[in-house]
Chains A and B, each alone.
Chain A
């Protein structure tokens, strides 16, 4: 954290806020833990315990939190990395209020709010929402068991990341907020060229964490390009043949 102070303008309210949140969340709890990457205050990794009494209860799930430069005016994005059967992995999902009022993130919510809401939202039906998966409870249970051995390339074995300390209890106010928060994948995500996955959301360091996905995306892109090119040439040839044949006929 000392390094962060030198790297970022601590006078900037958004930076100050994230540093405070990092302090608040510094100690792992049994329900969740989260902390910024060593070199980027605007990208965090988190771990959550699957909600009790559900098919996720044996699971531990790890992921990334991407904070827009406008945070806390704009909401954080969450990317799950551990296969869980509820959310697609490696896909940006965002918070919204369920029902008719999407996009009403409030600056007085925090990363803790987002994590608690994520835990609370896991057992809700997927209902075909973007970024959601509708695996059967049995499949989710298998994934939950497997998740305990999952390791993050940066954070290591995720089962070591949580502690046995109980988290700060959820207040009544928080509870009423949590019950309203929904998560869904970002619609524009698929239409985005993969060269620009971060958009203007993350300031730096995406390459370092996302090498494999980026590489795969690029590979797919190249293959698609080749394929479309080939089809183009094919059609062109067909046209030429057709035309030659046509004029021959005349």
Chain B
């Protein structure tokens, strides 16, 4: 009993310090977890052989079969940070990377991108902020254009510059925001069509405000359909989940287009695939 009393008094004596430290510790821990995610998983990672995917699923026969199926068509994977923006980040990275090697496609895209701001302003988006995102976005696009279709020696420095920009939170997020706006613009311009995809009583505009324009909101089919249509870019998404069969099902957006961007979808997340 005497022991109990003294030990509890020891605690009481330190109570104040402890309680303050507790709060601090919890918050510190939370910040550290967030920091760890942002430090261990880059916004856009390096190219990795597809076999790294296999090692994730050594105990999982269903996924192993599917990885095997995937490896018949793809050799590499580039992972993105799972922060809810992964579709937009993966899409823009893969597409800009492709544009480096395809001048014709670049010219086509440049025109679409250049005109995209006017569409958004006409829809009532605040000109002041749209311009801000547009300029940063175009700065990155134009840098790609300077060497698009050039020799490997000319392309390589731009490629690594692109990689750096995509891993700088400021730039990277600005690109994501702009593509979110473009997606929202497309949904609102064609709202009669897209209304059919929206479950529940929300209007297209409400959906855009709640699920498209805010950062960190995950992307669904409707986002991909809208963005690929707005920019006229073919995207193939390979859906890898626990579903039946050993094949990884592919979806092309817009339907019937020639895919220039290949993404791997696993529930809740998109990464980039390379043949």
Contact = CB atoms under 8 A, between A and B. Distances in A.
A191 B16 contact: no
Contact of B12 (A72, A109, A232, A243): A232
B124 A173 contact: yes
B179 to A, nearest CB: 12
A107 B1 contact: no
B173 A73 contact: yes
B124 A107 contact: no
Interface in B197-240: 209-210, 213-215
Nearest to A176: B205
A190 to B, nearest CB: 11
Interface residues of B, number: 35
A192 B12 contact: no
Contacts of B209: 97, 104, 106, 177, 180
B5 A236 contact: yes
B124 A171 contact: yes
Interface in A160-216: 171-174, 177, 180, 191-193, 196, 200
B170 A107 contact: no
Contact of A236 (B9, B16, B125, B128): B9
Contacts of B9: 232, 235-236, 239
Contacts of A192: 23, 27
A12 to B, nearest CB: 5
A124 interface: no
Question: Max chain B CB contacts within 10 Å: which of A107, A173, A196?
Answer: A107
A24 interface: yes
B245 interface: no
Contacts of A235: 9, 12
Contact of A107 (B27, B31, B133, B169): B133
A12 B210 contact: no
Interface stretch (A14-22, A39-47, A54-62, A147-155): A14-22
Interface string B1-34: 1100100110011011000100110010001000
B136 interface: yes
B222 to A, nearest CB: 17
A243 B170 CA distance: 64
Given A13-B170, A14-B170, A73-B173, A106 B1 contact: no
Contacts of A229: 13, 15-16
A177 B208 CA distance: 12
B126 interface: yes
A105 B173 CA distance: 14
B130 interface: yes
Looking at chain A's contact residues, is the secondary structure mostly helix, strand, loop, or mixed? helix
A243 B128 contact: no
B129 interface: yes
B177 interface: yes
Interface string A222-247: 00110011011101100110010000
A20 B132 contact: yes
Contact of B129 (A72, A97, A171): A72
B214 A232 contact: no
Given A239-B9, A243-B2, A243-B5, A108 B213 contact: yes
A191 B23 CA distance: 7
A104 B214 contact: yes
Contact of B170 (A12, A171, A172): A12
A16 to B, nearest CB: 7
Given A101-B210, A107-B213, A171-B126, 14 more contacts: A12-B170, A113-B126, A171-B124, A173-B124, A173-B126, A180-B209, A196-B24, A228-B15, A229-B13, A232-B13, A232-B15, A233-B13, A236-B9, A243-B5
Interface of B: 1-2, 5, 8-9, 12-13, 15-16, 20, 23-24, 27, 31, 124-126, 128-130, 132-133, 136, 169-171, 173-174, 177, 181, 209-210, 213-215
Closest 7 CB pairs of A and B: A232-B12, A173-B124, A236-B9, A225-B16, A13-B170, A108-B129, A239-B5
